[in-house]
Amino acid sequence: MIDFRYHLVSLIAVFLAVALGIVIGTTQLNGRVVDNLNAQVSSLEQDKRGLEAQSQQLQAEVKSDDSFTQAVAPALVGNSLNNRRVLLVLTSDQVPSSTVDDVSSLVQKAGGTLTGTIHLQPGYTDPSNASAIQNYVSGSGRPAGVELPQTDDAHQLVAALLADVLMAPSTSNSAPNTAAISSVLAGLGALDVVAQDSSTVTRADFAIVLTAGALDGTDADQRNAALVDLSAALDAAGSGAVVAGDSDSAGSKGLIGVLRNNPTVSATVSTVDNIDRAAGQVSTVLALAAERQGTSGKYGSGSDTQPVPQVAGATR
């Protein structure tokens, strides 16, 4: 008879054999797996070092290109804006101050004069402010002689008002004076809609609308529409307008992207999608000169764009 102890010893022996087989098999398998993983890690490290070297080389090339463009920029834009007045409009706090300074400097090197800088506040595009904006623009905010479009759209109304008082030639019969400009900006400032960044703001021939990044949220489309309306109004009231921003602003939720997808506005308002580069700043100034000649375009590094505007000749 085979007793219980024999069964127990036999079962233990079987389990020990199975466990030993698993350990031996796993050890051999782990060795191959570890070797394979080490080889993959080594390959990835080499790829990473190669990409880092390539990235550094590209960054050096970009820096060199920017340095060259900055050096020749005054010659490229020379006299293209001679005796022309330019207004800067910032759409948000995302626009770097360095970009504002670079663009301002290049406008002056092109012979242009800066008439001032205004900064749109978040409240400008906020749909919840529409009623307050409409009441002000249609009431006490409208200077004598300024004609507004027949619409209930608050953002079209405020865009028309700003364009009428800030841009020349005006579409109204009587040109608003400096007091009217100050009154409008002060009134919109009290509504937290517009801020005046420069000490004075006077009328301009051209407008450069500087933007950056993209909008998000459920009201992004409405906010972008308000900015498109303003860009179109500034362009129509003066000699031309250029909307310039970074690559993010050329996306589907950025001002430039939305504007370029609007066939009517993009046919008259020029856009530049690389304002953070020296080449984009040159393109912005040259685009203003082209606007005066009735030519609008899409410039930059995005799809379906020209690298730089083609300007027939400088304005002297």
pLDDT tens readout for residues 190-215? 999 999 999 999 999 999 999 999 99
Segment 64-93 mean pLDDT: 79
- pLDDT of 49 reads 74
Per-residue model confidence as pLDDT tens digits over 116-140: 999 999 999 999 999 999 999 988 7
The residue among 302, 244, 233 whose CA lies nearest residue 268 is 233
Q: What local confidence, expressed as pLDDT, does residue 177 receive?
A: 77
Tokens found for residue 283: 């393109």
Percent of the chain having pLDDT more than 70? Answer: 78
Please give the pLDDT value at position 108. 94
Contacts within 8 Å (CB) and 24+ apart, 300-309: 300/247, 300/250, 300/271, 300/272, 300/273, 300/274, 301/247, 301/273, 301/274, 302/247, 302/250, 302/273, 305/273, 307/279, 307/283, 308/279, 308/282, 308/283, 309/270, 309/283
Q: What is the pLDDT of residue 170?
A: 42
Quick one: average pLDDT of 240-249? 96
**pLDDT above 50 (res 5):** yes
Are 206 and 288 contacting, i.e. CB atoms less than 8 angstroms apart?
yes
Element (H, E) at 100: helix 97-109
Question: Does position 148 have pLDDT exceeding 80, yes or no?
Answer: yes
| Mean confidence (pLDDT) of the chain | 84
Mean pLDDT of 233-238: 95
Token pair listed for 288:
């203003």
Does residue 58 sit in helix, strand or coil? helix
Q: How confident is the model at residue 316 (pLDDT cuts 50, 70, 90)?
A: very low
Whether residue 242 contacts residue 250, with contact meaning beta carbons closer than 8 Å, is answered with no
Q: Taking residues 155-163, what's their average pLDDT? A: 96
Average pLDDT over residues 79-103: 94
Angle between helices 4-77 and 278-292 (to 10 degrees): 50
Q: Which of the residue ranges 176-180, 246-250, 251-255, 275-279 would you say has the lowest mean pLDDT? A: 176-180
* pLDDT for residue 38 is more than 90: no
3-state secondary structure of 175: coil
Q: Where does the pLDDT of residue 262 fall: very low under 50, low under 70, confident under 90, or very high at 90 and above?
A: very high
